[in-house]
Chain A
């Protein structure tokens, strides 16, 4: 009997120690970063760890999965996340998965002022600011200009001369892009469910008509790159970086800003509601926003950052590609995503489901 109770004591203390050990690993020195591929390059992480003594655990994801993950834990499990600026206010109001930023801990002088102000405005809920900008870019068209010279706008993907050789994602950017190309303004209808539904119904009809033209709806970046590289697809909706990467291999393929305007997005830094290592998170933000570091990230991710002065460190090739795709007029024409009101995804989801099901 005494033996048993001794064993029990031993077992209890082992369990207690294990729990303590687990808690230890989650202490303030570890930054659990939920981000996109390319936003936390290994050399940047290594330099940051050497400088600050923090350790960084990187989890790669995308907008929807980031929100789903944070929702599942009520905002726990990560110390810093990087959703797009339009996906902060809505989910925060609905699920309360983020916590406000202490802007005094961030070196605001490292940011491009206009971009910082816009992001703050878009991520303000009940008077508190939740996000600051990090990486920005656009989505538009990637076109093989030799094989499909006629593709200038989203709706051109539905023209007969590229039948069976186009692709796009069955996701919300496609809906928004097509709406603009059809002369509608979805962003203006954001606040009005009835108006937005009307816009989406028109887009739905267009996409159903367009369906026979589509080879496949792409799901991941690699899949799209393969389709374009092999020539099975000659025009697609895609991110600017994808087009520029392909341009390096094949000069005919490049990113084209659509006539109706490229769609601009900004990925941000936000603090998950139950994040434990806020100081490490602020340290990371201040570290990666230094111009030299930001330029390193640009070199890997392919997109520019909101870091002031980082352009000077960016490679000339990337700048050249950027300028070839974006005339000054095209830059002015970029449609920046406003915050998505909660519940809008349900309307869009219905449209996407019906398009997928259409013959």
Chain B
């Protein structure tokens, strides 16, 4: 019986261990070794930190790195600002069928691929697109308006793509807040703002933090949206990684970039947790 339980335990643990070692740990060790390799001649390599020095020595790489970080944080903040009222409405105000259909509405865009969603935005925002045509038809614009290929379009795309991942944890935490607690906040003299600040937001913090972490990671690692909506000025760190790996055949530098991105996201997530006084266990559990 004891042996049976042990066997069961090992069998349950095996997929997790396999997944961790084969798909996470080994590739990362490989990437780390790759990033510490320098090409010294045709087919010849030596161990050196040259790739990291290249990264810190080239202002373009550093700029793109910082820009990606700042824009991802901004996308996360905007997503939070939009998702919070939406989630509050779904969790606390809507009832029954309205509630589930609203939730479904948030989910619907995810039935199609990210590529299709991004194309949807391109159709809307382009010079000959829907919004431009509508504005001209209404006489609000004299000529075609180009809304695509800039940072704002990119931000719209990022926020849109991330929305659901913010709404789900927020709805879950807000639903767990007893309505009576909110009412008590009013009953004891609070107004909308103070109830929000002292009761709702503190209660929703784990959801806000876990949603923000997911959205931040998704934005930071997004490739399609910045490339397609961002246009000629779009610079996203994942684009650099892609081009180092695929276009330049420079896997060594690409791996170094990949590691820098990993460090960046870890640092920002850690900072976010510290700032809000949350722990990873509290947020994810």
User: Contact between A346 and B128 (Cβ–Cβ < 8 Å)?
Assistant: no
User: Contact between A345 and B249 (Cβ–Cβ < 8 Å)?
Assistant: yes
| Chain A neighbourhood of B250, CB < 8 A | 345-346, 349
User: Contact between B43 and A93 (Cβ–Cβ < 8 Å)?
Assistant: yes
Using CB atoms and an 8 Å cutoff, list the residues of chain A in contact with chain B: 64-65, 67-68, 71, 91, 93-96, 170-171, 211, 214-217, 219, 223, 230-232, 342-343, 345-346, 349, 352-354, 356-357, 359
For window 211-230 of B, CB contacts with A under 8 Å fall at: 227-228
| Chain B neighbourhood of A346, CB < 8 A | 248, 250
| Chain B neighbourhood of A214, CB < 8 A | 232
User: What residue in chain B is nearest A220 (Cβ atoms)?
Assistant: B228
* One of A96, A215, A216, A349 near B243 (C-beta < 8 A): A349
Encode B39-81 as 1/0 by CB contact (under 8 A) with A. 1001100000000000000001101100000000000000000
In the assembled complex, B91 has its CB within 8 A of some CB on chain A: no
Known: A232-B126, A353-B60. A64 touches B247 (CB 8 A): yes
Q: Give the 10 A-B residue pairs with the shortest CB-CB distance, closest first.
A: A349-B248, A230-B128, A216-B231, A216-B149, A68-B246, A357-B60, A345-B248, A232-B127, A64-B246, A64-B247
Known: A216-B149, A216-B231, A217-B232. A353 touches B43 (CB 8 A): no
Known: A94-B43, A215-B149, A357-B64. A232 touches B128 (CB 8 A): yes
User: What residue in chain B is nearest A217 (Cβ atoms)?
Assistant: B232
User: What residue in chain B is nearest A69 (Cβ atoms)?
Assistant: B246
Encode B118-159 as 1/0 by CB contact (under 8 A) with A. 000000001110000000000000000010110000000000
Cα distance A263–B43 when bound, in Å? 29
Cα distance A171–B232 when bound, in Å? 13
In the assembled complex, B245 has its CB within 8 A of some CB on chain A: yes
| Chain B neighbourhood of A216, CB < 8 A | 148-149, 231-232
Cα distance A269–B142 when bound, in Å? 53
Cα distance A345–B232 when bound, in Å? 21
User: Contact between A349 and B247 (Cβ–Cβ < 8 Å)?
Assistant: yes
User: What residue in chain A is nearest B231 (Cβ atoms)?
Assistant: A216
| Chain B neighbourhood of A94, CB < 8 A | 42-43, 249
Cα distance A231–B61 when bound, in Å? 35
Cα distance A174–B164 when bound, in Å? 40
Known: A94-B42, A231-B128, A232-B126. A357 touches B247 (CB 8 A): no
* One of B39, B60, B64, B249 near A68 (C-beta < 8 A): B249
In the complex, besides A349-B247, A357-B64, 6 extra interface pairs with C-beta distance below 8 angstroms are A65-B246, A68-B245, A71-B251, A215-B232, A345-B250, A356-B233
| Chain A neighbourhood of B63, CB < 8 A | 357
